[in-house]
Structure 1
Amino acid sequence: MTENNMPFSFWAKRGLARFTDYLIWGIISSFIILASSMCNAFQNIDPIYCVYAALFVAFLIYPVVEAACVARFGTTVGGKLTGISILTKNGEKLSFKASLKRAYLVYAVGLGCFLPVLSLLCLLVTVVLAIKGKEFLWDAKSSANVQSEKSSLFAKIILTLFYILLFAGVGFAAKNTYNLFNQSNVENVIFMQYWEDSRPIMEEIISEEAFASPENVKKTAENLKKLQQLILKYHQDYDDLYLEQLQSIKDIPSPEEKVRVFHEIDARSEALRMHWFAQSLRLSMLENIVAFFDEANGKYHFENGQPVFDDPDLMQAYQNFILQISGASPASENTAAQDKAETLPSLEITDEGAKEIKPETK
């Protein structure tokens, strides 16, 4: 069959053939881009710019590949699988020059060089021309005659398997991307949940009534214990999530990506653990302060916002304690938290997954 007065199936096969060719070339280009991105020459360049530039160049070169296939075989890989051939009006193969001219006209006029907006407009014009049965510019200028014939059963099987594997790969990649996105938000979600649960208790602790009476002092001490228990609960719950994240790393196919994700998870985990340790340390200091008020049993008053205990020995002990903790700056707390974090077991990433490494005792 020739191009004149063709049914919809003809145009659908042409579109499927070209789409298949672009997918195959895109997959090949992606592997080349991935390999090139590992070169030292591209380490200081934004990866996004590298990908866009490489894809643009890849599809700028593609017409040469298409022209070579059409001139040599009278069709492309996608055309062979769908039963589409590109010949001259006399049924002969196009010359390389004519094939190259046709390929670049498709790239520029039919697809708008894949430029935003322009490519969409060009595609819409192409669809309208196809509906009206008009001859495409690139076919007319190259004297090409696109023909359609029934593809073989083998070609249909290969084409079906190609798209099944393609969609399976896309689904796998999307799943991994979704899992990585969720992993990157785990610590933020846990921190926000902890903040929401601890805020009402903290508001009672810092209220003016917290030390107004012996009963309130006891309630404040209980609230501090609740916060310590809350930190412990979140810490234990996060340990399970942390191990789940590490186990999911083994599903990542790339060893380099596996190591990169591991370091990201480990860094976020360390930051969260240090935060909890610092919080627990501050709460312990508050518990010691509250213990002075509890021991005083209401025998104290405030002057200029500072407590004054009736018992001179208790007052002296309180002042000594305040002097002691006043030297504990946030930096020293973070150092303590860092020391604490270093005692936690780390994990080594292998092909079999994550393996626990016990820290060396100093």
Structure 2
Amino acid sequence: MSYVLRRAGARLIDYVLWGMLTVTVLGDKTGDIQSPSMAFYISFWIFVFVEAFLISSFSTTAGKRLLGIYVFDQNENKLSFGRSLKRSFLVFGAGMGFFLPYVSLVLPVCVMLLFIKRRFILWDKAIGDVVEYVKPTVANKVLLAGFIVFLITGYSITLRIAFLHRELDFTAVKESVSVPYWKEIHPQLVELLSEETVLTPQAAEQAVEKLSEFQQTLQRISEELAPMKDNLQKQLDKMTIQELKDYRQNQLDTVFGELDSFLFSKKMRIGLFENALEPFKSAEKNKYTLVDGQPVFEDEEMRRQYDNYMTQLQTFLTLSMPGSN
């Protein structure tokens, strides 16, 4: 079993070193730790040829050398490049599943079980190669220990950087504003505000009370944004790359600026309706006669207030139509 684990360890080291080299060369084109790019995936197909060259030239790779593993033919000669390429392709396909989702998790286990049961590894039998193990030197052991420490430390640093530099998630923040308004307040506003709202003092008073409740809801939403912004700001402050930090800060300020403007405009709109409806709460002033189905108020000021209210209502209903916001 240690024989197989040693070979698996050598392959892991090779893949880690190749992955580090790929990231160094391609930079951002490799994607991130959560979603590697196609370029990063293709690089491991290229490694099939690199590995074949190394084995045909030196009978080993960096990972194999660290663990004292060498590959020869049955006469203890170096493999030709063709045989070495065939071997590397079989390892990548039959052993690693071409790094395809799920397949790459199942096949290594199958290879392990096959070795336990039959005492051979598929590509060794297919190529007819001989894998020899040489006890690592002290220098190799030191290098291997250093590599393991580097791997553990580097992985933890990579995870931390990925955590600190990930995209700031504004979804919850935006939904905390959009959902209450568009799903709750706005439909009620459309239903509440109409010409009939001003035709009786009771209807006007009930509408003003309801509008006041909407104002309180919007104010509560506005106050709840502050701790959300603080939490995102704390994430941003932990970022170490200044250029990225400045970019995220601009995102943060823009999103919260837009949300503040949105809430302010909605509160202003509701406030205008509150002011427009206030005069119609008076039973003394709210007197009219219907002319051609339209109310004509006795008081001239009330006629002006009615025209003002209807203008606001028409504007509001127009902006409420699909595609207007």
Residue 316, structure 1, aligned to residue 303, structure 2: yes
Residue 185 of structure 1 aligns to which amino acid in structure 2? A
Gaps of 5+ in 2: 321-325
Match of 2:16 among 7, 15, 23: 23
Paired position in structure 2 for 1:293? 280
Residue 293 of structure 1 aligns to which amino acid in structure 2? F
Secondary structure, in 3 states, of the residue corresponding to 2:172? helix
RMSD over aligned Cα, in angstroms? 4.4
Secondary structure, in 3 states, of the residue corresponding to 1:94? coil
Match of 1:12 among 5, 8, 14: 5
Residue 269, structure 1, aligned to residue 225, structure 2: no
C-alpha displacement of 1:327: 8.2
Paired position in structure 2 for 1:237? 224
Secondary structure, in 3 states, of the residue corresponding to 1:180? coil
Q: Which deviates more, 322-331 or 15-24?
A: 322-331
In structure 2, how many angstroms separate the alpha carbons of the residues matched to 1:193 and 1:242?
18
Instruction: Tell me, yes or no, if the aligned pair for 1:249 and 1:261 is still in contact at 8 Å.
Output: yes
Residue 312 of structure 1 aligns to which amino acid in structure 2? D
Residue 11 of structure 1 aligns to which amino acid in structure 2? V
Q: Please list, as runs of the form range in 1=range in 2, the aligned pairs for 1:1-362 lying within 5 A after superposition.
A: 8-34=1-27, 51-52=37-38, 54-71=39-56, 74-81=59-66, 83-88=67-72, 94-95=78-79, 97=81, 98-115=83-100, 119=104, 122-140=107-125, 141=127, 143-147=129-133, 149=135, 153-173=141-161, 175-176=163-164, 180=167, 182-193=169-180, 198=185, 205=192, 214=201, 217-242=204-229, 244-252=231-239, 257-258=244-245, 260-296=247-283, 299-300=286-287, 308=295, 311-322=298-309, 325=312
Secondary structure, in 3 states, of the residue corresponding to 1:182? coil
User: CA separation of 1:13/1:193 partners in 2, compared to 1, >3 Å: closer, same or farther?
Assistant: farther
In structure 2, how many angstroms separate the alpha carbons of the residues matched to 1:92 and 1:15?
22
In structure 1, how many angstroms separate the alpha carbons of the residues matched to 2:52 and 2:122?
16
C-alpha displacement of 1:238: 1.8
Q: Which deviates more, 72-81 or 209-218?
A: 209-218
C-alpha displacement of 1:59: 1.1
In structure 2, how many angstroms separate the alpha carbons of the residues matched to 1:198 and 1:326?
16
TM-score (norm 2): 0.72
C-alpha displacement of 1:281: 2.5
In structure 2, how many angstroms separate the alpha carbons of the residues matched to 1:319 and 1:254?
58
Residue 87 of structure 1 aligns to which amino acid in structure 2? V
Task: Show CA shifts across 1:54-88 (max 9, x none).
Answer: 2343112112332344456553333344x241233
Q: Which deviates more, 92-101 or 9-18?
A: 92-101
In structure 1, how many angstroms separate the alpha carbons of the residues matched to 2:308 and 2:195?
22
Aligned length: 313
Secondary structure, in 3 states, of the residue corresponding to 1:192? helix
Q: Which deviates more, 193-202 or 24-33?
A: 193-202
In structure 1, how many angstroms separate the alpha carbons of the residues matched to 2:30 and 2:74?
46
Instruction: Tell me, yes or no, if the aligned pair for 1:17 and 1:78 is still in contact at 8 Å.
Output: yes
Secondary structure, in 3 states, of the residue corresponding to 1:33? helix
C-alpha displacement of 1:211: 6.3
User: CA separation of 1:185/1:32 partners in 2, compared to 1, >3 Å: closer, same or farther?
Assistant: farther
Q: Which deviates more, 132-141 or 113-122?
A: 113-122
Task: Show CA shifts across 1:282-326 (max 9, x none).
Answer: 20221122212123458447969x884754224322234246647
C-alpha displacement of 1:92: 5.6
Q: Which deviates more, 164-173 or 272-281?
A: 164-173
Residue 147 of structure 1 aligns to which amino acid in structure 2? Y
Query: Percent identity between the aligned chains?
Result: 21
